[in-house]
Amino acid sequence: MDYILKTYNLTKKYKDITAVENVNMTIKKGDIYGFIGKNGAGKTTLIRMITGLINPTSGNVEIFGHPVSRGNKAFLERIGTIIEFPGSYQNLTARENLEMHRRLMRVSDKKRIDEVLELVNLQHVSNKKVKGFSLGMKQRLGIARALLHKPEFLILDEPTNGLDPVGIKEIRQLIIDLAKTHGITILVSSHILSEIHQMVTRIGIINNGHLLEEVGYEAIKERNRHFIEAKVSNDKKAAYLLENHFAIENYSIIEPGIIRIYESLENSPAINKIFVKNGIDVAEIKISKDTLEDYFLKLTGGENNA
Ligand SMILES: Nc1ncnc2c1ncn2[C@@H]1O[C@H](COP(=O)(O)OP(=O)(O)OP(=O)(O)O)[C@@H](O)[C@H]1O
Ligand SMILES: [Mg+2]
């Protein structure tokens, strides 16, 4: 089976609000699927339907090839989530919190607690009370709890929310490690694309309840690449010079007089010089980045109201 998750025209309506509408999402085994959307876009609602916490108004969810409903919770043993679970007990230690959850989840292997503490890098503070933890440590403890029963599919709703750059990096490293080393498929949501795009293999963009697009890693890289952009008086001659002087083939004339060069970025001064020397007027030459963030903002229509 290739797919861990498939949704079919998944829709959730609340009176006059359509929170999620006709979403067809696919997550393949091994994906780190970044689920991106502004506040109120419908991320949590979709995740709640996926995990059977709420029923869809219409449409279906399949996890591991089986239909999900509130009556069918067997699949829950194979997924781990950090949505809707109560926070940790502040007056208990990390280890005590995990021990409680271990009993609740009927995980018989007591050694599993040390394993998950190590996975999230909290082994050194395992006997400290949670109330002294940073937000990042609390998030990682939440992830440790979600991992206790060895899920195959981990669903993290905004795990980087409110963290500082160091905390975000730690979560990112952890997610990559869980996917690459432990083979766990991961769905991770965020309203800030730049916080997660470096680690994902696929991205789904949701806006106003609609899944606008699902793009793979190659497309992500493609849309996030740097290039030299030159405004020249003679694009054909410029192309000739790029190929013959610099052996550059990875370029394109995006419109008459505007040429983009996707390699040898460090050579932009030399390229400029050769153009001018050969009688080409260079009105502008700059290094640009076609960021995924720009693309996301364009798709979702305006500022990310984070
Ligand atoms: N129980 C509910 N009753 C009524 N409306 C709801 C309910 N839950 C969510 N909504 C509405 O559905 C829409 C989607 O909300 P949702 O929480 O799924 O967004 P989100 O993408 O998770 O946002 P955030 O980034 O703020 O967490 C919002 O307009 C929200 O107000
Ligand atoms: Mg949410």
Residue 45 Cα to ligand 1 midpoint, Å, equals 6
Q: CATH 3.30.70 residue ranges in the chain?
A: 226-289
Q: Which atom of ligand 1 is nearest to the CA of 41?
A: 21
Residue 295 is predicted with a pLDDT of 76
Length of the chain: 306
Q: Is 305 in the pocket of ligand 1 (CB under 6 A)?
A: no
pLDDT digits (tens, 9 = 90+) for 187-229: 999 988 888 888 999 999 999 999 998 988 888 777 777 899 9
Q: Is 106 in the pocket of ligand 1 (CB under 6 A)?
A: no
Q: Say if CB 83 and CB 158 are below 8 A apart.
A: no
CATH 3.30.70 correct for 226-289: yes
Which residue positions in the chain have pLDDT lower than 70?
A: 1, 70-73, 84-86, 302-306
CATH 3.40.50.10360 correct for 3-222: no
- CA separation for the pair 161, 110 (Å, rounded): 31
Beta bridge partners of residue 282, listed in sequence order: 232
Q: Which atom of ligand 1 is nearest to the CA of 15?
A: 4
Residue 70 is predicted with a pLDDT of 65
End-to-end CA distance of the chain: 37
- CA separation for the pair 293, 191 (Å, rounded): 11
Block residue for tokens 């192309």: 239
Q: Is 160 in the pocket of ligand 1 (CB under 6 A)?
A: no
Residue 306 is predicted with a pLDDT of 42
Residue 305 is predicted with a pLDDT of 44
Question: What is the b/e burial string over 2-12, where b = at least 16 CB atoms within 10 angstroms of the residue's CB?
Answer: eebbbbeebbb
Q: CATH 3.40.50.300 residue ranges in the chain?
A: 3-222
Mutate to test the pocket of ligand 1, among 45, 156, 190, 300 (most ligand atoms within 8 A of CB): 45
